[in-house]
């Protein structure tokens, strides 16, 4: 038996299907999996049933900051802790997620000569970083990613961008989509109809996840005025926004009884029920200059879109904005409709509604053929065995 450590120094891990899936599969394969993360009141922490999975530190977390973007559990801040655990049951690898997690993982493995693996969820490209902390973090990521045994990323298009930027050979990449576990299925329920008192004839369009500017949420809300009358929009947030200015502004511009807000996040184990209660999924990705995560990272969203993957997994046809990667697959397979502007959403919903069964079947087929997480993760397991 050996250990795997996954380092994710952020608070939203339960909303990232690929990370939770990776942890569960590694534990099922016999690894002792240790997860380093942060917690906050905004996000539900990930809960795992497998006794081979350990989350550090226990909740509530105490955290100690060391330098820029470095967050270490206070009771794990001494190298001796890692050395002692490594001596008892050796670590096979430390997996650092995104530049911050990669930097922290490197700090921890330096004391033990344990292989480093890079898991890239968000692209940070050199031409898009400014000065200061992001520039320094990018330089660290480029150096450490070249030292990593291999790099996990969602698809080839995103890999090519990172490979060129960080001078990494393409054969060092393993492609794993950001998607839920299991084969696609359609299990329709009336969750949203009961929650909001809707007629069973009402069709629910679900926008689930973040509601930042880069999601195009304002344009989506405004477009509802032109939707067919039997369609409503449900906005479900992946975090607890409280009384944020963003939510208040959206509520003020929304048409009453046509736009509904679900502001309480649910654990990932219950998330599928929310998807099953909808009829169509909605996803837009809007380039926002000046933000390192909302430029090329958004334009080449590809197989990193969790909201699209979850919708297809539940047999929901999708309406998506045009960008590279996944939208091309959606258009080619007729698992949904790709639009160029928010004003086209209403007509797209009407088209899907007329041939819903066909679109739903195509959505599940696209998921099973391109987004099956378990099949893709076999490549990671094979690489780990060689370390």
Residue 14 lies in a domain: yes
Angle made by CA atoms 133, 23, 374, in degrees to the nearest 5: 115
Domain match, 99 and 143 both? yes
**pTM for this predicted structure:** 0.91
Tokens linked to 311: 């919708």
- Pairwise CA distance, residues 97 & 19, whole Å: 9
Same domain as 350, residue 274 = yes
Buried b (16+ CB within 10 A) or exposed e, 137-165: bbebbbebbeebbbbbbbbebbbebbbeb
Inside any domain, residue 186: no
Which SS3 state, helix, strand or coil, does residue 174 take? strand
Looking at the structure of the chain, the number of domains it has is 2
Give the per-residue pLDDT at 110: 75
* Same domain (yes/no): 203, 306: yes
Range of the structural domain that residue 121 is part of: 3-180+373-385
Specify if 332 maps to a domain.
Answer: yes
224 in the same domain as 77: no
Model confidence band, residue 243 (pLDDT cutoffs 50, 70, 90)? low
Q: What is the pLDDT of residues 336-369, one digit of tens each?
A: 999 999 999 999 999 999 999 999 999 999 999 9
Contact 342, 223 (CB under 8 A): yes
β-bridge partners, 318: 281, 336
Evaluate whether residue 197 is within a structural domain: yes
pLDDT tens for 299-330 read 888 899 999 999 999 999 999 998 767 778 89
CATH code of the domain containing 16: 3.40.50.2000
DSSP per-residue codes, 207-261: EEE--SGGGTHHHHHHHGGGS-TTEEEEEEESS--TT-HHHHHHHHHSPTTTEEE
Residue 242's pLDDT band, with cuts at 50, 70 and 90, is: low
Q: Could you tell me if 364 and 254 lie in one domain?
A: yes
């Amino acid at each position: 038996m050996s250990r795997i450590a996954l380092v994710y120094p952020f608070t939203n891990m339960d909303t990232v299907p690929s990370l939770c899936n990776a942890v569960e599969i590694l534990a099922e394969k016999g690894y002792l999996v240790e997860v380093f993360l942060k917690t906050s009141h905004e996000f539900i922490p990930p809960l795992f049933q497998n006794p081979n999975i350990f989350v550090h530190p226990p909740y509530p977390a105490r955290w100690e900051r060391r330098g820029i973007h470095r967050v270490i559990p206070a009771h794990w801040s001494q190298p001796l802790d890692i050395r002692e655990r490594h001596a008892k049951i050796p670590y096979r690898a430390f997996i650092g997620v995104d530049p911050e997690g990669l930097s922290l993982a490197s700090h921890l493995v330096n004391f033990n000569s344990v292989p480093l693996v890079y898991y890239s969820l968000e692209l940070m490209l050199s031409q898009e970083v400014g000065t200061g902390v992001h520039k320094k973090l990018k330089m660290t990521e480029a150096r450490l990613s070249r030292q990593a045994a291999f790099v996990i990323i969602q698809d080839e298009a995103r890999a090519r961008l990172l490979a060129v930027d960080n001078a990494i050979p393409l054969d060092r990449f393993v492609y794993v989509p950001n998607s839920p576990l299991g084969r696609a299925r359609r299990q329709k329920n009336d969750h949203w109809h009961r929650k909001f008192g809707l007629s069973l004839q009402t069709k629910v369009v679900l926008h689930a996840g973040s509601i930042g500017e880069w999601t195009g949420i304002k344009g989506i809300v405004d477009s509802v005025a032109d939707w067919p009358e039997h369609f409503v929009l449900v906005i479900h947030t992946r975090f607890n926004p409280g009384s944020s200015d963003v939510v208040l502004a959206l509520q003020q511009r929304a048409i009453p009884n046509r736009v509904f807000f679900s502001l309480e996040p649910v654990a990932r184990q219950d998330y599928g029920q929310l998807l099953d209660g909808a009829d169509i999924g909605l996803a837009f990705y809007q380039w926002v200059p000046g933000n390192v995560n909302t430029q090329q990272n958004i334009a080449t969203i590809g197989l990193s879109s969790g909201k699209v993957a979850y919708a297809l997994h539940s047999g929901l046809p999708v309406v998506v904005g045009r960008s590279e990667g996944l939208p091309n697959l959606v258009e080619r397979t007729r698992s949904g409709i790709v639009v160029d502007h928010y004003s086209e959403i209403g007509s797209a919903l009407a088209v899907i509604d007329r041939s819903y069964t066909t679109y739903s079947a195509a959505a599940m087929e696209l998921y099973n053929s391109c987004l099956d997480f378990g099949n893709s993760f076999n490549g990671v397991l094979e690489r780990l065995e060689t370390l």
